[in-house]
Amino acid sequence: MPEEPDRSKDENVQLIKEMYGDKDNLDENIAPKKGLIAKLKYRIAQLKKKNAEEDKLEEEAELADIEEQKKKKEEKQAAAAVKKENAKKEKEVKAAEKKKAKDAKAAKKAIEQAGIDPAQIDLIILGTSSPDYCFPNGACEIQAKVGAVNAACFDISSACTGFVFALSTAHAYISSGLYKTALVVGADLLSKLVDWTDRSTCVLFGDGAGAAVVTAAESGIIGLNMHSNGAKGGVLTCGSRSTGNFLLGKKPELGYMTMDGQEVFKFAVKQVPECIKEVLEETGNTADDIDLFVIHQANYRIIESIAKRLKVDLEKFPVNMEHYGNTSGASVPILLDELNRAGKLKQGDKLVLAGFGAGLTWGAMLLEW
């Protein structure tokens, strides 16, 4: 397009000609005319004002453009956040289905190995810290999967001590005569509770499930203990999966696991040997009488320290954490099942089971295989 003439420039030239005359006659008209000078100043002021207005309009247009780009970026980020949230929800749904399948698979295997009809089970206790729902409880879900139609069902939340506490509870019910056959399950899906940006925790944990059928018998659990210290609960926590409340104007958010590793280590290496010694003393046994120590699979250094404090050969402490990580409430029954299937457990063997975890909770039991 052809350039438009700069009219303001032409007008200024005309004003100068009026003030000084033609270029060739400048000497004759050198004295400026006061009225024309005032007019020129006024015109220059107008031009400055006009230029300022144009600059302002240009700046406003640039700001509007920036604001529009910012708005588009925010909309894009919001869409990406929604997509990410939907993907996370889909992942959690799949994880929940995966956990249900694991829980039921472990329970079915235990029932098959026990050689009983599921209808004979009158009690199901699930030790878990990662249930699929607030309600119904996970034990009821397992009941539906295995067909234990006559069972009373409930969950125990004791994190990594879950199976030991659940087994202790089942023992108490059966010893009292209230129930005859219990299905005890330890299961956790920690992959949905860890913060995958926190490398201090996410690389340590795994998913798993283990189960046992418990009935009254002459051999079995000889002694046990359970302990807790809520004052130290803050060293290992996982916030509620809905930490907010719409009624309070806060959108529910997901909570993730946090852990003070050094404090957990100090707690474990002190309390676990003590509770093992406690159960041995109460049953009139010594560490030398025990064939195997089946300890919660949290950390190899913790197990080394426990063995050292008990003055027991480390060979009596089987481990499998290198295969599964820390599976929380599932670690003890998984290890127990592996030892059994590998033929490493003989009738009459004395075993110590011990768990420790969030709460803080810890406990031990002595049983005869």
pLDDT (tens, 9 = 90+) of the chain, 369 residues, equals 445 445 455 555 565 555 555 544 444 444 455 566 776 777 777 777 777 887 788 888 888 888 888 888 888 888 777 777 666 666 665 665 655 566 689 999 999 999 999 999 999 999 999 998 889 999 999 999 999 999 999 999 999 999 999 999 999 999 999 999 999 999 999 988 888 888 888 889 999 999 999 999 878 999 999 999 999 999 999 987 665 666 667 766 777 888 999 999 999 999 999 999 999 999 999 999 999 999 999 999 999 999 999 999 999 999 999 999 999 999 999 999 999 999 999 999 999 999 999 999 999 999 999
Pairing state of beta strands 152-156 and 123-127? parallel
Contact at 8 Å (CB) between 165 and 356? no
DSSP readout, 316-361?
GS---HHHH-B-GGGHHHHHHHHHHHTT---TT-EEEEEEEETTTE
pLDDT number for residue 29: 47
**Torsion angles phi and psi, residue 98, rounded to 5:** -65, -45
Dist CA 92 CA 130 (whole Å): 11
Residues taking part in catalysis = 160, 296, 326
pLDDT of 269 reads 97
- Which sequence spans correspond to the domains of the chain? 92-368
Nearest to 107 by CA among 68, 140, 81, 60: 140
Asked if residue 328 lies in contact with residue 188, where contact means CB atoms within 8 angstroms, the answer is yes
CB 351 within 8 A of CB 221: no
Task: Provide the whole-model pTM.
Answer: 0.73
- 92-368 in CATH: which number? 3.40.47.10
Beta carbons of 141 and 106 less than 8 angstroms apart: no
